[in-house]
Structure 1
């Protein structure tokens, strides 16, 4: 029976059923995988988010984690401030105190003048907190202060451009307007830190992964080999394919829908990152994939039908029939090596913004797939010098 049905019958939740099905053993603060890997959970996942520690200063509050952080030796440390207090109370002159601490006399004089905030005189801990509070120097974010720049960024986010694409495309679109510049990190800060309420929800939905908070990337899981027929390994692929100098060499893979019951075939041209999508529906057998790829590739000119690189998935069992029908050589990656078709892996990540995981891909017909491919082919890419795949492919065809 299906995993979900079996989980309901034994009263298990979805996560536990998936772990049992994959042979994963749950241990204290970790998991053991069938291949022997042991993954330990870090403490923050178990203890939750700690509440911030604060202290009063100048009628407000300051974060103690920021106070205790050592930024640079040029700033007075708390230990130096304690020594300064002791020497100053002993009646030692400012110049002698500076010599004792290895600091400039002006530094000591300024410290005593600016950070003495108590009627009892100079107190090192209060002075340290006051200096940290003064060091914040808050300012209005650039995207809040400039409405024209903010409108440009929001319009591109709604077109599902990444912050990096927006940042570099500004230079292309406004070469002589220095005020129309914003870094990638500034855009992320505007989304995750400064945006609030409905605006934040709207902007995070436009990002590639739709996350409401920033998270580190996890390691991709290795795939088990499933293809057993005779294949042509990627090691025999001509050097001109690796150089990306000649157009017409493609990488392909499948995007799988919910419970593995629907799929879309993706093709990416290596030189231009041009994307083509093949409709499969609920059938991703080798015969269906072969026919769909033949139909998709058949619309290409002969100059763009060079080779196809695929992983060792059983859905490509009809690779010889596909090659005979299209005149394309088919090469296969090594087992568990998705980076050998990195352009396609990256593109599949982009496509997940349109086709989320655990969604039914059968509802997208050929017209919908073509619309997604057109939108993706009109996005500027860093690897193309901020040209779009359509622009790069056109230039390569004209040059050849």
Structure 2
């Protein structure tokens, strides 16, 4: 331009855009400042769990260069899902262009704490959750029911962790404190898992172990295979028998008003299984509790084989263990279980069989068993 050329002509001669030429003319005299150097691979770093503004600008530049999400993630040392979610959240509707500065402003606005929880803000959502907790539904069952009941209203959708937080973090005041008692554990705070206490084998006589159980029992495809156990009352003086069908998770409760000796348990089990259709009682799996010492005479009376779990292996009867935990909502530990009559046991079993179960595709055990009986 000192030689008399116009800005446009000078820019053409040196091979830059006229706008770049004007910037150089206005004082930015270092041409290398405006040349795009080869992008070196950035070393992965985890300075912050949140994306920074310079990272968002880098994302916008690389999107314009048609770089892949995985390439951008590798350069920033971030997960590809983080980059994908960032672009999806902050792209302009219609055009799809990503705006890094607007994304940073929204992130800064979301970050301040504390925030009002979703349950506290929505009275209808809070009432729905409280009603289901009063009926002893689990948080996961409640969240699935919300999606089924309000499929087109995302403001009514939460994950089960949100419900747990509303119960455990009482300072937030989103749900009544007494609702924590409706949880299966009855705890108002989380408790770390600990290894279960080991138990010694109780049978000296030969038993048929679970390793000899037919293969059809394992995949739960054939109905009629049951798992059983006792829940014990105060000071071991009372008990209730529990039976769970493996394919449908259908629950039956066995009344034991006079004790839990081997003969009493045997007689009560015989009376219970005889009330079922023959094709729905094929086998029974039990732990090594002394109450099943009369398993031989039970098999003779009912023609139902009994299989025993290995010592200290409750996971081998997982459906029954889970059900016993659910039943503790109705029959708390340290209480006298002999006060519950057969009518009350039937009511509790019916309520439990009427709950939707995730493992059944959110059908209830009663619905699944009804289909089998009808078939």
| TM-score for the superposition, normalised by structure 1 | 0.65
Q: Is the 8 A contact 2:130 2:175 kept in 1?
A: no
Which residue does 1:309 correspond to in 2? Answer: 285
Which residue does 2:163 correspond to in 1? Answer: 187
Which residue does 2:327 correspond to in 1? Answer: 351
Number of aligned pairs?
278
- Give the number of the structure whose alpha-carbon radius of gyration is greater: 2
Q: Secondary structure at the match of 2:204?
A: coil
Mapped pair 1:135 → 2:108: no
For 1:148 and 1:319, locate their aligned partners in 2 and report how far apart those are by CA, in whole Å: 52
Q: Is the 8 A contact 1:163 1:188 kept in 2?
A: yes
Which residue does 1:87 correspond to in 2? Answer: none
Mapped pair 1:258 → 2:234: yes
Q: Secondary structure at the match of 1:179?
A: helix
Taking structure 1 as reference, are residues 300 and 185 closer, same or farther at Cα in structure 2, changes over 3 Å only? same
Which residue does 1:321 correspond to in 2? Answer: 297
Q: Any residues of structure 2 matched to 1:159-308 within 5 Å, and which?
A: 159-194=135-170, 200-308=176-284
Q: Is the 8 A contact 2:166 2:174 kept in 1?
A: no
Which residue does 1:39 correspond to in 2? Answer: none
For 2:348 and 2:171, locate their aligned partners in 1 and report how far apart those are by CA, in whole Å: 28
| Stretch moving more, 209-218 or 237-246 | 209-218
Q: Any residues of structure 2 matched to 1:8-27 within 5 Å, and which?
A: none
Q: Secondary structure at the match of 1:308?
A: strand
Q: Deviations over 1:140-160 (max 9, x none)?
A: 321122221111111100000
For 2:49 and 2:174, locate their aligned partners in 1 and report how far apart those are by CA, in whole Å: 39
Mapped pair 1:379 → 2:355: yes
Shift in Å, 1:375: 0.7
Shift in Å, 1:312: 1.4
For 2:208 and 2:49, locate their aligned partners in 1 and report how far apart those are by CA, in whole Å: 57
Shift in Å, 1:279: 1.0
What's the Cα RMSD here?
2.5
For 1:74 and 1:260, locate their aligned partners in 2 and report how far apart those are by CA, in whole Å: 57
Q: Deviations over 1:4-38 (max 9, x none)?
A: xxxxxxxxxxxxxxxxxxxxxxxxxxxxxxxxxxx
For 2:194 and 2:108, locate their aligned partners in 1 and report how far apart those are by CA, in whole Å: 35
Q: Is the 8 A contact 1:261 1:282 kept in 2?
A: no
Alignment match of 2:49 (pick from 72, 83, 103): 72
For 1:256 and 1:342, locate their aligned partners in 2 and report how far apart those are by CA, in whole Å: 18
Taking structure 1 as reference, are residues 144 and 224 closer, same or farther at Cα in structure 2, changes over 3 Å only? same
Which residue does 2:36 correspond to in 1? Answer: none
Which residue does 2:346 correspond to in 1? Answer: 370
Taking structure 1 as reference, are residues 317 and 216 closer, same or farther at Cα in structure 2, changes over 3 Å only? same
Which residue does 2:315 correspond to in 1? Answer: 339
Q: Any residues of structure 2 matched to 1:78-157 within 5 Å, and which?
A: 135-157=111-133
For 1:134 and 1:184, locate their aligned partners in 2 and report how far apart those are by CA, in whole Å: 22
Q: Secondary structure at the match of 1:250?
A: strand
Q: Secondary structure at the match of 1:264?
A: strand
> Which structure's residues are more often strand, by fraction?
1
Q: Is the 8 A contact 1:308 1:331 kept in 2?
A: yes
| TM-score for the superposition, normalised by structure 2 | 0.69
Q: Is the 8 A contact 1:285 1:315 kept in 2?
A: yes
Q: Deviations over 1:260-294 (max 9, x none)?
A: 11111100000010000101135110000001111
Which residue does 1:66 correspond to in 2? Answer: none
For 1:199 and 1:137, locate their aligned partners in 2 and report how far apart those are by CA, in whole Å: 20
Taking structure 1 as reference, are residues 199 and 173 closer, same or farther at Cα in structure 2, changes over 3 Å only? closer
| Stretch moving more, 267-276 or 312-321 | 312-321
For 2:150 and 2:374, locate their aligned partners in 1 and report how far apart those are by CA, in whole Å: 27
Q: Deviations over 1:286-343 (max 9, x none)?
A: 0000011111111101111110001112210111221122221111111111111111
